[in-house]
Structure 1
Amino acid sequence: MQDNTNSKKNGFTIKSITHSKGFSAFTAALLAIALGLIVGFLVMLVADPSNALKGFNSVLTGGLRRIGDVFYFATPILMTGLAVGFAFKMGLFNIGASGQYTMGMYFALYVGFMWDMPKGIHWVAAIVAGMIGGMLWGFIPGIFKALLNVNEVITSIMFNYIGMYLVDMLIQGNSKMYVSSMTRTAYLPSEVQIPSLGISGSNVNFGIVLAIVIGIILYIVLQKTTFGYELKATGFNKFAADYAGMKGKRNIILTMGIAGGLAGLGGAFAILAPSAIAGSSMTYEPINIIAANGFNGIAVALLGNAHPIGVIFSSVFISHIQRGGTLASLYGYKPEIIDIVIAVIIYFAAFAMIMNSAAAKFIKARRDKMHAVSEAKSIVDKDASSDTKEANK
């Protein structure tokens, strides 16, 4: 009895956990994932019934056979997911993660090719440069929003295109970075590449470790610091936050700058990765296409409920089913089947909290009804027992 009382005081009862916002968000995400996978299986069933089970199994388990690639491809979308989720906590929709990602990648490439630095710190400097590039590209929409009240969705999506065209132009105009015969950038020197984690046949490197650490730090900042409290308070109600003396305009600029820096780190982590081919590195091909990792970050943030820890897990999950989806082609399915699954998951995630709440109310109503029936039956049985005793007397 004493232990139960203490657990209640400490807030560790089952009821307190199941009624928490985090648990609701978690179950909502699971519901969205389940519904998305069911729809994906149905699509496979319609496309080719004979291979549906094998193809669906490859989607579910294929990533386990390519675990190194799962974590490598999760790294950039983890960072862009954090960029979108962090801004969302402030009530801002950072749809410009692609441009910030591309600018961060360019800054990292520039430091890698154009600066001569000691071997031990060259890749670190390139990562920091990537963060700075993304921050610069995030500050601009933030300044427009804070000082001129220009909608950040409009400015940030425009800067996706501006950043992409600008980076492509700068790379193609730099003979040291760009190899015209390959129509892509040259291989980065080995000292600029992020150290590998040593998984053969995979590009996975310490970037994933840094990304997870950054996600945890972001969680601490948002949950345990005054700055994080101000950001969330402004996101809930900027007028009340201004009345309380919080500097809303400054926080908007800082939020967009930090979000841009996170996306820029994603670009740096992606381009500075060592290639699975010995002696090579990742390269960039300037073909005037917006980086998909920026928009994938939006999906990751939505599925993770914009929570840093949730974003970490959702990025790994999205990367996992993407890797499995590529193996589904062995059974005659197009890789785009995974895009359908992810799109459906995000679609359901958008209103999964509502469905989760409705399901909880339905279950509670059924439980209360069953409890009422049980009580009524117990009363009837008790009355019947009393009548029997009276008759026997």
Structure 2
Amino acid sequence: MQDNNKSPQKKGFDLKAITKTKGFSAFTAALLAIVLGLIFGFIVMIFANPDRAMAGFRYVIFGGLGRFGDVLYFATPIMMTGLAVGFAFKMGLFNIGASGQYTMGMFFAMYVGFMWDLPTGLHWVVAIFAGMIGGMLWGFIPGIFKAALNVNEVITSIMFNYIGMYFVDMWVQSNATMYIASKSCTNYLPSSVQIPSLGIAGSNVNFGIIFAIITAIILFIVLQKTTFGYELKATGYNKYASDYAGMKGKRNIVVTMMIAGGLAGLGGAFAILAPSAIAGSSMTYEPINIIAANGFNGIAVALLGSSNPLGIIFSATFISHIQRGGTLANLVGFKPEIIDVVIAVIIYFSAFAMIMNSTLAKFIKTRFGKKGTVLPNANSETKEAK
């Protein structure tokens, strides 16, 4: 006769189950890559200037805390380009053309800002959407080449970085309203097209960071909770199986690249439409035939965030944080490029951090697993023995 009054057993802390989750693995892999990258950067600082290595390293780690507004401002565009790269990667596509999409989105936003006369409350909104459309256009072309002709998207998208950059520089320099030849840069944007500021003194941070975070959350929901997101991920895992299941792989390729391009275009719009900390001025663009670095920084952000939209929020903020700290390292005699070395090493380690992470996880489970593992029910053990 069964005892119905038996109280249920309390579940203990199951460390083994936690360490097996994908979220834990991704987090520890990124953390491991960051720690190793920072250690390597510190070693480089010691070789460069032993006496001031610790002071420079403190600036790298903590310098961004005193410039939090700038951290958020510079995190906004790389967060968007990171989302552009990460979203395409979920589909199994390597969108290395985020720089061109970013630049094209920046130009479309500037064009609306300079050439369209709209009310103040509407002008910057239209300019942001114009930036998104510019990026979508520049993402559509590699997408259609991939879907229709199976041309590798890495080749087409990286070439469109150059094409987009040269087009934008040519268009800007041929527009007398936009370009000031004596200063070799664009004119100041009207105040009506500048995104409202968040009010942090001495900083360009604005509502763009809020829009970027909301966009990342929406992307996470789309990928995790919708049929469309499931189709994208399924196609990325195995396009042949997804085609057999009736999913429209070619359409998904084009749509994915357009969405990715639109995200990068938004990053360009957020960057150029930001209000300047100097009254009466704004952000400007210099047509100097150099590909936008924010597009390639987005690749680093996506890799560090494991292409997870929520992870990209934190990785973009972290990259921006150490970049701001790195610019302060020159106060003690270090070149700002030292932070580029640190970021490069972090990304290098993140590429194979999952392998090191699995080794670390095995060590943790071996060392602490007995204390955290829940013992099976005694009755079930008896039944199995019988």
Q: TM-score, normalised by structure 1?
A: 0.91
Q: State how far apart, in whole Å, the 2-side matches of 1:338 and 1:368 are.
A: 38
User: Post-superposition shift, 1:50?
Assistant: 0.7
Q: Deviations over 1:307-339 (max 9, x none)?
A: 000000000000000000000000000000000
Q: State how far apart, in whole Å, the 2-side matches of 1:335 and 1:210 are.
A: 29
Q: Deviations over 1:181-201 (max 9, x none)?
A: 111110000010000000111
When Rg is computed on C-alpha atoms for both structures, the one with the higher figure is: 1
Aligned counterparts, 1:92-103, within 5 A: 92-103=93-104
**Residue type of the alignment partner of 1:168:** D
Q: State how far apart, in whole Å, the 1-side matches of 2:252 and 2:91 are.
A: 8
SS at match of 2:10: helix
User: Post-superposition shift, 1:358?
Assistant: 1.4
Aligned counterparts, 1:324-339, within 5 A: 324-339=325-340
Q: State how far apart, in whole Å, the 2-side matches of 1:36 and 1:144 are.
A: 37
Is 2:304 the partner of 1:303?
A: yes
Give the corresponding residue for 1:321. Answer: 322
**Residue type of the alignment partner of 1:305:** S
| Contact 2:16–2:365 under 8 Å retained in 1 | no
User: Post-superposition shift, 1:370?
Assistant: 11
Q: State how far apart, in whole Å, the 1-side matches of 2:282 and 2:304 are.
A: 31
Aligned counterparts, 1:154-165, within 5 A: 154-165=155-166
**Residue type of the alignment partner of 2:329:** A
Q: State how far apart, in whole Å, the 2-side matches of 1:177 and 1:365 are.
A: 64
Give the corresponding residue for 1:353. Answer: 354
Give the corresponding residue for 1:135. Answer: 136
1:312/1:368 CA distance change after superposition, 3 Å? closer
Identity %: 78
**Residue type of the alignment partner of 1:199:** I
Give the corresponding residue for 2:259. Answer: 258
User: Post-superposition shift, 1:369?
Assistant: 10
Q: State how far apart, in whole Å, the 2-side matches of 1:208 and 1:220 are.
A: 19
| Contact 2:112–2:127 under 8 Å retained in 1 | yes
Runs of 5+ consecutive residues of structure 2 not aligned to the other structure: 1-6, 373-386
**Residue type of the alignment partner of 1:94:** N
Aligned counterparts, 1:62-73, within 5 A: 62-73=63-74
Q: State how far apart, in whole Å, the 1-side matches of 2:78 and 2:283 are.
A: 16
1:136/1:51 CA distance change after superposition, 3 Å? same
User: Post-superposition shift, 1:144?
Assistant: 0.2
User: Post-superposition shift, 1:16?
Assistant: 3.1
Aligned counterparts, 1:186-265, within 5 A: 186-265=187-266
| Corresponding residue to 1:4 among 10, 16, 22 | 10
1:240/1:186 CA distance change after superposition, 3 Å? same
1:25/1:103 CA distance change after superposition, 3 Å? same
Give the corresponding residue for 1:388. Answer: none
Q: State how far apart, in whole Å, the 1-side matches of 2:100 and 2:282 are.
A: 22
Give the corresponding residue for 2:345. Answer: 344
User: Post-superposition shift, 1:2?
Assistant: 4.1
Q: State how far apart, in whole Å, the 1-side matches of 2:100 and 2:297 are.
A: 13
Give the corresponding residue for 1:75. Answer: 76
Give the corresponding residue for 1:37. Answer: 38
**Residue type of the alignment partner of 1:356:** N
Give the corresponding residue for 1:50. Answer: 51
1:3/1:309 CA distance change after superposition, 3 Å? farther
Runs of 5+ consecutive residues of structure 1 not aligned to the other structure: 372-393
Aligned counterparts, 1:138-153, within 5 A: 138-153=139-154
Is 2:284 the partner of 1:283?
A: yes
Q: State how far apart, in whole Å, the 2-side matches of 1:101 and 1:368 are.
A: 47
Q: Deviations over 1:105-142 (max 9, x none)?
A: 00000000001111111000000000000000000000
User: Post-superposition shift, 1:362?
Assistant: 3.4
User: Post-superposition shift, 1:364?
Assistant: 3.5
**Residue type of the alignment partner of 1:143:** I
The root-mean-square deviation of aligned C-alpha atoms, in Å, is 1.7
**Residue type of the alignment partner of 1:330:** L
Give the corresponding residue for 2:182. Answer: 181
User: Post-superposition shift, 1:365?
Assistant: 4.2
**Residue type of the alignment partner of 2:200:** I
User: Post-superposition shift, 1:13?
Assistant: 5.2
**Residue type of the alignment partner of 1:213:** I
Q: State how far apart, in whole Å, the 1-side matches of 2:173 and 2:302 are.
A: 33
User: Post-superposition shift, 1:289?
Assistant: 0.2
Q: State how far apart, in whole Å, the 1-side matches of 2:186 and 2:357 are.
A: 48
| Contact 2:79–2:316 under 8 Å retained in 1 | yes
| Contact 2:104–2:138 under 8 Å retained in 1 | yes
| Contact 2:15–2:369 under 8 Å retained in 1 | no
Larger helix proportion of the pair? 1
SS at match of 1:285: coil
SS at match of 1:4: coil
Q: State how far apart, in whole Å, the 2-side matches of 1:182 and 1:368 are.
A: 64
Q: State how far apart, in whole Å, the 2-side matches of 1:262 and 1:228 are.
A: 16
Q: TM-score, normalised by structure 2?
A: 0.92
**Residue type of the alignment partner of 1:142:** G
| Contact 2:71–2:324 under 8 Å retained in 1 | yes
1:368/1:116 CA distance change after superposition, 3 Å? closer
Q: State how far apart, in whole Å, the 1-side matches of 2:223 and 2:368 are.
A: 38
User: Post-superposition shift, 1:271?
Assistant: 0.2
SS at match of 1:53: helix
Q: State how far apart, in whole Å, the 1-side matches of 2:62 and 2:9 are.
A: 42
Q: State how far apart, in whole Å, the 2-side matches of 1:300 and 1:90 are.
A: 17
Question: How many residues are treated as equivalent by the alignment?
Answer: 366
